[in-house]
Amino acid sequence: MTQFLYLSTVLIWGTTWIAIPFQLGEVAILTSVFYRFALAAAIMLSLVLVSGRLQTTSKQDHGFMVLHGMCLFSLNFVCVYTAGLTVSSGLLAVIFSSSTLFNAINNRIFWGEKPTPAVFAAGILGIIGLSLMFWPELAEDSNKGVDLGSIGFAFLGTFLFSLGNMISVRHNKKGLKPFTSSAYAMVYGTLFLAGLLLITNTPLTWDSRPQYLGGLFYLAIIGSVAGFTAYLSLVARIGASKAAYATVLFPVVALALSTVFEGYAWSLSSLSGLVLVLLGNGLILGIKLPFMRRPKASV
């Protein structure tokens, strides 16, 4: 089941990478994120109620679920979408992959769990590997000049994502299942976004393009309801530090799709990066590669 959840998260979020740009343009970012999670919250809460999986929760639980919604289902996406206006998808992928290191550090701070050397090694391998895979985009960004504000937004969104993971760990320790915590958190995240819309006087405009509507439904239903349920279930099973490595692998899926549909050409740099990413994945999942195994002692 763990392998299924891991693979589902990587494949789902790898495909959402393509849908996100369709949400950028005519509609304000805050409005697009609001639409996404209003739809996701309605579907998620309905599914949980109909299936009878909604657990009894306390006032304290709801307080943490408000924070959960702010970190994982609203502010982090506003930050990442904003960064995506001026930062290439390659640089966003590299920055977001740092969530593996953020989670390892935050796990130590909030839960006293000492990260294993393998987690840090895998995170560093992943970041270097993605940098090599997206090297042409990164080089182009450096030639155009670096937008420090947008990079700051990307890191802030990644850090908020990590904090949301820590709150999810709290829910798991209290016996709350991802179905219940995510349903409530999505509702609170949507309400928080609605408040931001009112405060900032952001209009509820609409984009009539089929790509926008299709992207919205895909991101809400597949990316948010299915994707986050799989990911947070994975966090409950293997911990936040290991689960976060999915953020390193899903850009690889995006590049694979780009190869098929957009003619992306793999180079020596990108292939080397892929090898490093897969090595990091092996470390995270505890896979012993041939050169990592100790030889048997001779008798």
Percent of all residues in the chain with a pLDDT value above 90, rounded to a whole number: 66
What distance in Å separates the CA atoms of residue 268 and residue 272, rounded to the nearest whole number?
A: 6
Domain ranges of the chain: 2-286
CA dihedral 167, 169, 170, 175 (to 10 degrees): 130
Q: With 90 as the cut, is the pLDDT of residue 178 above it? A: yes
pTM summary value: 0.89
Q: How confident is the model at residue 289 (pLDDT cuts 50, 70, 90)?
A: very low
pLDDT value of position 298: 40
Q: How confident is the model at residue 93 (pLDDT cuts 50, 70, 90)?
A: confident
pLDDT value of position 145: 61
pLDDT value of position 10: 93
Rg (the chain; Cα; Å): 19
pLDDT value of position 210: 93
Q: Which two tokens stand for residue 285?
A: 């999942």
Kindly state the average pLDDT of the residues 163-177: 96
pLDDT digits (tens, 9 = 90+) for 41-59: 999 999 999 999 999 999 9
Percent of all residues in the chain with a pLDDT value above 70, rounded to a whole number: 93
24, 143 in Cβ contact below 8 A?
Answer: no
Q: How confident is the model at residue 263 (pLDDT cuts 50, 70, 90)?
A: confident
Q: What is the mean pLDDT of the chain?
A: 89
Write the secondary structure of the chain as one string of H (helix), E (strand) and C (coil): CHHHHHHHHHHHHHHHHHHHHHHCCCCCHHHHHHHHHHHHHHHHHHHHHHHCCCCCCCHHHHHHHHHHHHHHCCHHHHHHHHHHCCCCHHHHHHHHCCHHHHHHHHHHHHHCCCCCHHHHHHHHHHHHHHHHHCHHHHHHHHHHCCCHHHHHHHHHHHHHHHHHHHHHHHHHHCCCCHHHHHHHHHHHHHHHHHHHHHHHCCCCCCCCCHHHHHHHHHHHHHHHHHHHHHHHHHHHHHCHHHHCCHHHHHHHHHHHHHHHHCCCCCCHHHHHHHHHHHHHHHHHHCCCCHHHCCCCCCC
CB atoms near residue 46 (< 10 Å): 11
Longest dimension (CA), the chain: 77
What distance in Å separates the CA atoms of residue 229 and residue 223, rounded to the nearest whole number?
A: 9
Q: With 80 as the cut, is the pLDDT of residue 141 above it? A: no
pLDDT value of position 165: 97
What distance in Å separates the CA atoms of residue 104 and residue 243, rounded to the nearest whole number?
A: 11
pLDDT value of position 299: 37
Kindly state the average pLDDT of the residues 16-35: 89
Q: With 90 as the cut, is the pLDDT of residue 288 above it? A: no
Q: Which two tokens stand for residue 182?
A: 């995510």
What distance in Å separates the CA atoms of residue 111 and residue 148, rounded to the nearest whole number?
A: 32
Q: How confident is the model at residue 188 (pLDDT cuts 50, 70, 90)?
A: very high
pLDDT value of position 291: 38
Kindly state the average pLDDT of the residues 270-297: 72
Kindly state the average pLDDT of the residues 16-34: 89
Q: With 60 as the cut, is the pLDDT of residue 295 above it? A: no
pLDDT digits (tens, 9 = 90+) for 192-248: 999 999 999 999 999 999 999 999 999 999 999 999 999 999 999 999 989 999 999
